Amino acid sequence: MFKNVKKEEITIPAQMSYLIQIREFIEHIGKRYKFSDKVINSFKLVVDEACTNVIRHGYRDIKNGEIQLKAIIRRMSLTIVIIDQGISYDPRQANTPDLAKYVDIGKKGGLGILMMRKLMDDIHYAVTERGNEFRLTKYREEIPDGKVSQLWHSMTMRARYTLISAVLITVTISLIFSVLMYNMNDTVRDETLNMVSGDVKTLADNSIDDIISDQYIPMFEKVRSLHQNNPELINEAFITDTRGRVIARSTLLRETPLGRVYTMPDSAVERDSVQNSVVLNYAINDTTRIYDVYSEIRESISGTGAALGYAHVWIREATLRQIVYERRMVLLLIMLILLMLGYIGSFFLINQVLKSFHSLGDWVRQVVRGTVDQDEIDIDASDEIGEIAQAFNEMTQKFHAAQVNLMEQQKLQKELQVAQEIQQMLLPSDFPRVEGFDIGSYYEAAKEVGGDLFDFVEVDDETVGIVVADVSGKGVPGSLIMTMIRTAIRLESRGNKNPADVLAKVNRFVTDDMKRGMFVTMFYVILDSRNRVIHYASAGHNPMILYRSSTKQTYYLNPSGFPVGIQLPDLKLFDDKIETDSIRLREDDILVLYTDGITEAMNHQRELYREERFLESIRSNGHLDVTEFVKTIKDDLKNFTGGAPQNDDITFVAIKEKMMAGEIIYKTHKQMVELIEQGVRVKDACERLNISQYQYYKYKSIVDEGGLDALRAFLDGQDHIEKKHLSIEVKAKIFDIIRQNPRFGPKKISDLLNTEKYGFVELDQRRIYNELIKMRLNTYTLRKRFLEKGQNKRLKQPGTPLLTMDGKVILNFESSESEVQKRLGTTPPKPVSSPSPSRQEEKKPFVRVIKSASEKEEEKTPPPRPKQVKPEAAQPVAEPKKEEKKAEKAEQTDKTISETVPTTEQLRARAREVRSETLINQYYDACRDDLLALQQHLENIKPQTDNAATVRKMLLILKITTKNPILKKLPEFSQLIQQGVKSLEILAEAADDTDAPVLKKRLRDVLNVLKKENILKAGQSILEQVNTLAVMRKSWYESPAAVPEKNPLDDIRQKLARKKIVHNSELLKKESSGSTKK
């Protein structure tokens, strides 16, 4: 009943980077003590959440804190105790969140305690001498036992203890009697032989006078008397002379095998010598063995003198065995009597001991059923039974609370199950059949209800749309948004072959229904099976990967576009930003659409799968068919993660081209020619083959000149992607040239590419110039700044893998752990020397660069287009030396005017150049709980309350966020946060003298400026946001009761005009709405 528990413990520093040790500790416990994966995964999620809260909140203002974990292993349960010395907080006091309300307001986070309650069977919190103790208990579902073990556990306690006592008594008595029985043979033989030896010696001594006097009749009487005294033991008794002649015997001659003369057999073996008698053992015939005990008869009783004869006694071995058997039966009977007495005594003793326990059990069951009140019994806790009864009495008080919690848990589980069933119904169950394309997909949700979406929509009879989306939210809210997006895209995609237009309509359809802070990144692809064209558009999603196995080239295709549902000042900005692109594939080309759950998948060592490993897997398996390709990618991902739980959904769709686009057009045109030769009109033939007359006349001239073979050759030479996009293998070489020679322009880059070092890549300078514009590297200043950000390491485009010059993937250029730490902001990277360290350390002044008119024209006007000789081939043009010389001259003549406020356009350009959206997103993810707390405190600003204390709390929270190491990498963004702190300090000082509605509005204005959406997507730079906060503070001093509704830049323009800092009055004019929009 009571068993010793096993304990293990671990102590770690209270830092995020050490949480992986906790996960490994829990996995070790699970493997060692054979807990199920479900129990261990639940503990990993809950313990990780609890320790994260301890680090973020309990040790917020405490340094060098520690977290101690104790694992208590019982047969049917596992308990993890988390001990810390931080700020105390009892999670049991937290109210259960309303999921419906969370979905309505789009709230993220705040479900950690709910998750703990749902995943754990028991939660207990207490403050002890060791600190805050948080106990989490989970029970085993079942233990795989054998039949004997199952039978044992099915027995009652009385039966178990009775059985155990019976076994102990039986074993003890059996051992004792086994020893006695084992020695029974030797004991009986020794006793018998000793007795018979004495009789033989007596017979020999009494026969001395008879032998000397030759009186045989007395000897016969003595021998017969000895035999009659032990007829069952003695088989034969006789006396012989020295020559062996029998002179006296106990039986008649015909009744014994003993003849007239006794001869000792050669097989006789001397067994012993007892009391001057010798014991021999031999067989007198084939069936009888005997012990022959004899003694010499001499003239003197003392054994001296001449030998007169011998006295013999025969004892059969069968007789000895019979004696042994009889004695053993007696012992066995005694043992059975003792066993019965032991069984009966132990049964009554155990029954008497357990009687009190049974009475206690009956009382507990009656209390649970409600038939007896727990106060109706008087418990005497002076003995052990009373103590147990007292403990049961306390347990019953908690029983009703446990029932309520169980009902709530079942209710939530049912809600999640319904949401999961809805999501599974929304995901496509099979793939559409598209002529010439093979399609495969894989989806895995990180939680019970995921936020990724992939779907197939029928645009028309010969066109299919494929969408892959990632919702910025998991669980039930993400599933609801996914449902809305799926409905909208199916509604808007029918008959529309423009993917950008479809996404724009979807954005207008769902924007008003999505809560602030939630958005969806999408990639929409349209497969036109007749024209063999693929149209695609991206709404802020990961790039689509095209791997061309025939040339070993990889293309990352990602047109511009905002995420769907994001809050923009004007919906038209989404329509203006999103773009549609089109490509044609070659046979065996493979397209991959995916979500960031793949590249950010982590194993137990917290290493990321990364873009490099994903591309390596695509290249290695690109030759397989789609089904095997998807399976291999999935297996590679599983092998890497090793079953580690993922924080994001994993989705990817693979599309493989099975035929050339030119082959379809060639066959269609060939059928057209055959129909026209048969007398069918061109219009009717086009309608019959479902093509346009434009397509027929487009290729008619080629067929008329060189026949159908010329058309095939022309179509095989067409490849849109080669003319429109550069592979990442070529881009890697361009980046390497920029890294080594940032001053080189398109012409010199083109010349270097066409060398042995870079594999003699022939690339037109205009293509290079256009690509530099896309990457914002078209000037020396931009390239130099890009190099400084990359610290002169290997360069690559964001979201793409790092490659060598020969196109091989570099897998271990940076450890994944350091990358994770950078994203979490826990360990800042070590400073690396750069070409201009002073530029990184010093604060950048407000400057405006004045450039010559020729340079401005050079930046806006690309080099002239090369002349086209044939539709499918472009000839290189001469280098525009004049324009390059103008540009170099203009860069050398740049004039910088310090301490000058730049124009709005230049502010926006400079802000886009220096800010990093990735780092800003990491900052907001790390400070998510703090920013949420700011919003909650804002709602507490009410009349007739201590608003000053509330504002001071908000100020303290915002100051804590300034300690995040990510801000060291973003000086402008750090300045914005500091300005926000300064604004809250002013409001805190004046809170008592400010009306609550005015105070609340001013606080909301400050927090709106600091929102991530306004910083990244509002069209303003970070420096403009800093100016906005400064103007706000000025307006507070001028008007303490109200906030002026005017453009903040107007005050700056007026101030500059009064002080005559800027002499060009055109720069200070207000922008018209049209120009601003432009």
Query: CATH number, domain at 103?
Result: 3.30.565.10
Torsion of CA 547, 548, 554, 559, to 10 degrees: -70
pTM score = 0.44
Parallel, antiparallel or unpaired: strands 650-657 and 590-594: antiparallel
Cα–Cα distance measured from residue 855 to residue 773, given in angstroms and rounded to the nearest whole number: 16
Last residue of a domain, one of 622, 642, 659: 659
Residue 29, exposed/middle/buried by CB under 10 A (0-12, 13-18, 19+)? buried
Looking at the DSSP assignment, which residues form a beta bridge with residue 134? 82, 125
Residue 792, Cβ neighbours under 10 Å: how many? Answer: 15
Are residues 152 and 138 both part of a single domain? Answer: no
Both tokens of 942, joined, read 């009410």
Are residues 304 and 450 both part of a single domain? Answer: no
Cα–Cα distance measured from residue 445 to residue 427, given in angstroms and rounded to the nearest whole number: 12
Q: Which of 453, 451, 448, 455 is nearest to 420 (CA)?
A: 448
Are residues 1030 and 957 both part of a single domain? Answer: yes
Cα–Cα distance measured from residue 953 to residue 531, given in angstroms and rounded to the nearest whole number: 64
Please count the structural domains in the chain. 6
Q: Among positive and negative, which fits the CA dihedral 621, 626, 631, 634?
A: positive
DSSP for 695-709, written as a single string: HHHHHHHHHHHHHHH
Q: Is residue 853 part of a domain?
A: no
**Residues 1068, 1057: contact at Cβ < 8 Å?**
yes
Torsion of CA 567, 571, 574, 576, to 10 degrees: -150
Q: Which of 245, 243, 193 is nearest to 216 (CA)?
A: 245
Q: Is residue 180 part of a domain?
A: yes
Question: What are the counts of helices (DSSP H) followed by strands (DSSP E) for the chain?
Answer: 39, 25
Last residue of a domain, one of 87, 107, 142: 142
**Residues 605, 590: contact at Cβ < 8 Å?**
no
Are residues 288 and 402 both part of a single domain? Answer: no
Return the DSSP state at 313: E
**Residues 247, 253: contact at Cβ < 8 Å?**
no
pLDDT confidence of residue 868:
38
What are the C-alpha distances in Å from 673 to residues 685, 689, 702, 848?
A: 9, 12, 13, 66
Are residues 446 and 570 both part of a single domain? Answer: yes
pLDDT confidence of residue 1050:
58
Q: Which of 325, 343, 19 is nearest to 188 (CA)?
A: 325
Q: Is residue 954 part of a domain?
A: yes
**Neighbour-count burial for 685-695, b at 16+ CB within 10 Å, e otherwise:** bbeebebeeeb
Cα–Cα distance measured from residue 343 to residue 167, given in angstroms and rounded to the nearest whole number: 9
734-742 contact pairs (CB < 8 A, 24+): 734/768, 734/771, 735/794, 735/795, 735/796, 735/797, 736/794, 736/795, 736/805, 738/777, 738/783, 738/786, 738/787, 738/795, 739/787, 739/790, 739/792, 739/794, 739/795, 742/780, 742/783, 742/784, 742/787
How many Cα atoms occupy the beta-carbon half-sphere of 567 within 13 Å? 14
Q: Is residue 1038 part of a domain?
A: yes
Are residues 521 and 572 both part of a single domain? Answer: yes
Cα–Cα distance measured from residue 338 to residue 354, given in angstroms and rounded to the nearest whole number: 24
Q: Is residue 837 part of a domain?
A: no
How many Cα atoms occupy the beta-carbon half-sphere of 697 within 13 Å? 5
**Neighbouring residues of 1: CB distance < 8 A, sequence distance ≥ 6:** 157
Are residues 599 and 522 both part of a single domain? Answer: yes
Extended beta strands in 846-910, E state: 848-850, 868-870, 873-874, 895-897
We report the CATH number of the domain holding residue 329 as: 3.30.450.20
Helix, strand, or coil (residue 534): strand
pLDDT confidence of residue 24:
92
Q: Among positive and negative, which fits the CA dihedral 658, 660, 665, 669?
A: negative
We report the CATH number of the domain holding residue 592 as: 3.60.40.10
What are the C-alpha distances in Å from 42 to residues 53, 273, 328, 562, 1031?
A: 17, 81, 63, 37, 51
Helix, strand, or coil (residue 783): helix
Q: Among positive and negative, which fits the CA dihedral 318, 323, 329, 331?
A: negative
Q: How many residues does the chain have?
A: 1078
Are residues 647 and 634 both part of a single domain? Answer: yes
Cα–Cα distance measured from residue 393 to residue 391, given in angstroms and rounded to the nearest whole number: 5
Give the model confidence (pLDDT) of 1006-1016 as tens digits.
888 888 877 77
Both tokens of 617, joined, read 């897997």
Both tokens of 944, joined, read 């007739």
Are residues 500 and 622 both part of a single domain? Answer: yes
**Neighbouring residues of 555: CB distance < 8 A, sequence distance ≥ 6:** 545, 546, 547, 548, 721, 725, 726, 727, 728
Q: Which of 603, 454, 593 is nearest to 536 (CA)?
A: 593
pLDDT confidence of residue 356:
75
Looking at the DSSP assignment, which residues form a beta bridge with residue 261? 245
Are residues 651 and 669 both part of a single domain? Answer: no
What are the C-alpha distances in Å from 682 to residues 688, 696, 698, 1047?
A: 10, 9, 13, 64
Helix, strand, or coil (residue 762): coil
Q: Is residue 827 part of a domain?
A: no
Are residues 466 and 401 both part of a single domain? Answer: no
Q: Which of 329, 123, 84, 301 is nearest to 201 (CA)?
A: 301
Radius of gyration of the chain, Cα coordinates, nearest whole angstrom: 50
User: What are the backbone dihedrals phi and psi of residue 370, each rounded to the nearest 5 degrees, phi first?
Assistant: 90, 5
Low-confidence ranges of the chain (pLDDT < 70): 1-4, 92-111, 142-146, 253-255, 274-275, 368, 370, 372-383, 385, 397, 400, 412-423, 447-450, 473-476, 660-663, 712-720, 790-795, 812-915, 1017-1020, 1038-1078
**Residues 654, 440: contact at Cβ < 8 Å?**
yes
DSSP for 384-450, written as a single string: HHHHHHHHHHHHHHHHHHHHHHHHHHHHHHHHHHHHHHHHHHHS-SS---BTTEEEEEEEE-SSSS-
Cα–Cα distance measured from residue 724 to residue 770, given in angstroms and rounded to the nearest whole number: 10
User: What are the backbone dihedrals phi and psi of residue 536, each rounded to the nearest 5 degrees, phi first?
Assistant: -150, 155
Last residue of a domain, one of 640, 659, 678: 659
- H-state helical runs in 608-692: 610-621, 626-641, 661-677, 682-689
Torsion of CA 413, 416, 418, 420, to 10 degrees: -130
Q: Is residue 172 part of a domain?
A: yes
Report CA 555 to chain centroid distance, whole Å.
Answer: 31
Domain range for 31: 6-142
Return the DSSP state at 257: S
How many Cα atoms occupy the beta-carbon half-sphere of 457 within 13 Å? 25
Q: Is residue 765 part of a domain?
A: no
Are residues 18 and 104 both part of a single domain? Answer: yes
